[in-house]
Amino acid sequence: MSTAIKEIKKTRPVKPLDPEKIKQELLAKYPPKVARKRSKQILVNKKDEDGKIPSIGANVRTVPGIITQRGCSYAGCKGVILGPTRDIVNITHGPIGCGFYSWLTRRNQTRPASDQDDNFMTYCFSTDMQDEDIVFGGEKKLKSAIQEAYDAFKPKAISIFSTCPVGLIGDDVHAVAREMKEKLGINIFGFSCEGYRGVSQSAGHHIANNGIFTHVVGKDDTIKDADYKINLLGEYNIGGDGFEIDRILDACGISVVSTFSGNSTYDQFANSHTADLNTVMCHRSINYVADMMELKYGIPWIKINFIGAKSTAKSLRKIAAYFDEPALIKKVEMVIEREMPEVEAVSEDVKKRCEGKVAMLFVGGSRAHHYQELFREIGMKTVSAGYEFAHRDDYEGRAVIPDIKIDADSRNIEELDIEKDPEKYRPRKTPEEMASLANKGVPFKKYDGMMPEMAEGSLIIDDVSQYETELLLKIYKPDIYCAGIKEKYAIQKSGIPMKQLHSYDSGGPYAGFKGAINFYKEIDRMVNSNVWRFLEAPWQSHPELSAKYVWE
């Protein structure tokens, strides 16, 4: 064992920590009102006598001044869901910042089929509103911007993203979109994703789901000649995750009609209602589209997870079971059998150095759950986790949805009324088939959330603050902390390895089988790095002056 590991082991608390006490410690410094509020968002994962997990406060407004890591509705709508589509010109209607900061900063990899295909990913389009636009309104400028974008780029579609001031000054982006759509003859649509809507990125997801479903999904009825047609929902191809998933699905003979929305195109969205199954990767961001597609077109959805080798295998089997054809089931088993030996060889090797180590995960609305699986595979334990902006169903499972109260801050996020499409609705399975599949372990419309899979006594924290993070590090001394860029360097400066699970620190892919291997190796590199033993200079660890004044 290197001295580095010894050093870190030495500082790890030996006595078991009392999570209830830790919770009180996290709250102690806050003003009473804040402590009361945070107390609902911090809880110890512990089932009651009936085996029920406790319920958490989530998707509530951020405490001002607490130093949250959350972003806004625009980021959730443009930055996350619709940014990754390569052939739509996305115009940010607002001052320059919003467009600038969401320009190439999420690593949604894009690979157009040929040099001739449109790819606007590397561009940032903005109306760059000035003070006169705030005073006299920005609709005219927006119209001209759409015209100029059309003239210069001739795109298939143009979409408009509203930023904070747009809603306040009353620019009607939807009216502008309708007018310009009429004029230019291409699909043009707007999103009211002003940053102040909702309480986080989450509102933006919902707004994006509604918009893409209303304006694009179902516009192209061409049925592709392919077996086992699925949509991959909520996979954004960060660091090539989607490419690895595509590789595996392709090897299994499963066709992806559309991905929402890593490396996606306008046409894929338009055609997505022709698939026979929706598979949901990131539940938080895309469950709305999944539900709406089921209601309108009769496509069932299942939760899958391609993070972690075992989860990947399990998800492939779920898909195969759904289509229930021996040829597919056989092929899936072949692929798993072919891929697993290398994965297991690496995980066994890495486990020797990582087993027993402790992780914490505070990531967006999905990964804080999914990545626990990867850590488990190399023998590491997650002692505390939470989301920035997930809802109770992501923590506790979808069974709680009927109990969730929409509060005043989220009430204005539109819920669409979806009805069966009179022509295009086509149930993919009979109710009997659905029931039988559910019995065989292919539950539809089901996601159990993060908490049931976490150990008793682990600490669940929603919308963790900078202060809470610092205290957690001091108390638990985790071997690795996973979050985002804003947290990264403060944690690293505390002498604790910090893995970004949004950007992957420029690494990846981490999904699928190859991704699992990448991740094991990355965590091994990080938690066993030499660098941590150099934090003190020699003269700091031995400050006493030696009595020798001559060279030995």
Active site residues: 72, 75, 106, 205
Cβ proximity to another protein, 183 vs 489, nearer residue = 489
Rounded to a whole number of angstroms, the distance between the first and last alpha carbons of the chain is 31
Q: Cα separation of 192 and 8, whole Å? A: 49
Cα–Cα distance, 308 to 305 (Å, whole number): 8
CB of 407 to another protein, least distance (A): 10
CB of 205 to another protein, least distance (A): 14
**Is residue 199 within 8 Å of 61, Cβ to Cβ?**
yes
User: Which strands, in side-by-side order, build the sheet including 498-500?
Assistant: 42-44, 459-461, 381-386, 358-362, 480-483, 498-500
- Residue closer to another protein by CB (options 161, 513) is 161
Nearest distance from C-beta of residue 80 to another protein, angstroms: 12
Task: Tell the smallest beta-carbon distance from residue 219 to another protein (Å).
Answer: 23
| Largest interatomic CA distance in the chain | 95
Question: Residue 243 in contact with residue 237, Cβ under 8 Å?
Answer: yes
Beta carbon nearer to another protein, 101 or 444: 101
Cα R_g (the chain), whole angstroms: 25
CB 380 within 8 A of CB 192: no
Q: Do 82 and 479 touch, CB atoms closer than 8 A?
A: no
CB of 133 to another protein, least distance (A): 7
Identify which of residues 342 and 409 has a Cβ nearer to another protein in the complex.
Answer: 409
Q: Which is nearer to another protein, 122 or 222 (CB)?
A: 122
Q: Residue 495 CB, nearest distance to another protein (Å)?
A: 4
Instruction: Assign 3-class secondary structure to 445-486.
Output: CCCCCCHHHCCCCCEEECCCCHHHHHHHHHHHCCCEEEECHH
Across the strands, what pairs with 511? 307
344 SS3 class? helix
Of the pair 133, 339, the CB lying nearest another protein is at 133
